[in-house]
Amino acid sequence: MIGARSIAEPTIKDTVIHRMDPRAKILILISTVFVAVSLDNQKTMFLLFLIILSGFVIAKMPAIKIKTLVILLVLLIWGTIYSQALFYSQLPRTVIFTIIRPDFPVLGWLTGGGLFVYEEGLHHGAVQGLRSASILSLGLLMCWTTDSRDMLNGLVGLKVPYSVAFMVITAVRFLPIIITEVATVITVQRLRGFNPKKFGSGIIKTLLNILTPTLANCVRRTGTLAVSIQSRAFRANPDRTSLKKLEFSNIDKVMITVFVFAAISIVVIKLLYNMYTSGIYYTSSLRPVYAIAGGYL
């Protein structure tokens, strides 16, 4: 249970990433989302993914969180590539492997003309998988290296309404508690003779028995939290103070400038390139921009 809860809680250390201002982390995450969504080149996307993973090395993340990250990334990337390879619908597409032939009895008709693995689907799935993996990895790195109070101050510092920021942080704080409760319920079920890994009715019974006490405890905790914050006059004073004053360091300013500038540049270049390929707008003076977008982005 301790291991399951520690996965969701931040690990506070004295590294460069831990010392970064939470506002800088949020801005870097937003910039990276725009970059990841704009990129279509596999090599550039893989480079972005490696840069984000290097943050876990710099932050000296514990082994249990690295193991959790690897499991999530493998499931995410493999699932995306596999699904895109099978159900890629754009043209052209090249069949590299046949799973169900079109003339196979019953299954050929049920699958609408057979089931194939497409080469273009593999490439498209790789890009989509790396895109999702990059955003997931950076989000986890931000949550695992930032204390909840600092994250709340960071959201408020970025002009997010305090009530909204408080709800977001509260939801994040509830996550390790829910994980602990689920682990407790599974342990109790095992003591009562249930086998959570048994296929068929065993899994269904286990899921139903997990959902009921976990949901009941969440409702009870939510009511207690609501009474607690209302009794402390949550909305009595719109002007709030904080014990810790946030201040950007020189590293924060450099990182924010680099990521925001890169995000704006990539989005603008991709927009101009898409306008050129769609026949909306073209000018010969932007040929270097089109070459960069077509070759590297």
**Could you tell me if 81 and 116 lie in one domain?**
yes
Task: Tell me if 297 sits within 8 A of 266, measured CB to CB.
Answer: yes
Report yes or no on 242 lying in a domain. no
Same domain for 115 and 84, yes or no, is yes
**Token pair for 272:** 């101009």
Query: What is the C-alpha to C-alpha distance for residues 119 and 86, in angstroms, rounded to an integer?
Result: 10
Same-domain check for residues 113 and 209: no
Please tell me the chain's helix, strand, coil percentages from 3-state DSSP, rounded to the nearest 5: 70, 5, 25
Q: Are residues 224 and 142 in the same domain?
A: no
The answer to whether residue 292 sits within a structural domain is yes
Structural domain that includes position 228: 161-232
76 and 197 within one domain: no
* Range 194-223 burial, b when 16+ CB lie within 10 A, else e: beeeeeeeeeeebeebbeeebeebeeeeee
The Cα-based distances of 265 to 138, 151, 227, 257 in angstroms read 20, 28, 48, 12
Q: How many Å apart are CA 141 and CA 281, to the nearest integer?
A: 40
- 254 within a domain of the structure (yes/no): no
Has residue 25 been placed in a domain? Answer: yes
Shared domain for 13 and 103, answered yes or no, is yes
The answer to whether position 58 is within a domain reads yes
Reply yes or no on whether the pLDDT at 207 is more than 90. Answer: no
Whether residue 53 is found in the same domain as residue 108: yes
pLDDT attached to residue 63: 87
- Token couple for 117: 């693995």
185 found inside a domain: yes
Are both 133 and 194 inside the same structural domain? no
Number of domains the chain is built from? 3
pLDDT band at 201 (very low <50, low <70, confident <90, very high): low
Which range among 205-219, 232-246, 256-270 has the greatest average pLDDT?
A: 256-270
Residues 24, 67 share a domain: yes
Domain C-terminal end among 147, 182, 216: 147
Nearest of 172, 140, 160, 146 to residue 68 by alpha carbon: 140
CA distance 107 to 101: 8
Q: Which residues contact 76 (CB under 8 A, 6 or more apart)?
A: 129, 132, 133, 136
Residue 260 banded pLDDT, cuts 50, 70, 90:
very high
User: How confident is the model over 73-122, as pLDDT tens digits?
Assistant: 998 888 888 888 888 777 778 888 788 787 777 777 777 777 788 888 88
Asked if residue 79 and residue 195 are part of one domain, the reply reads no
Query: Does residue 27 share a domain with residue 121?
Result: yes
CB atoms under 10 Å from CB of 182, counted, come to 17
Shared domain check, 87 and 62: yes
Instruction: Look up residue 31 and give its two tokens.
Output: 């910039």
Segment 47-67 shows an average pLDDT of: 89
Nearest to 132 by CA among 197, 254, 8, 49: 49
> Domain for residue 113, yes or no?
yes
User: Is the residue at 289 inside a domain?
Assistant: yes
Q: What is the rounded CA–CA span in Å between residue 118 and residue 96? A: 6
Q: 10 Å Cβ neighbour count for 224?
A: 10
The beta strand positions in 143-268, using DSSP E, are none
Catalogue the E-assigned strands of the chain: 95-100, 115-118
| pLDDT (tens digit per residue) in 243-258 | 777 788 888 899 999 9
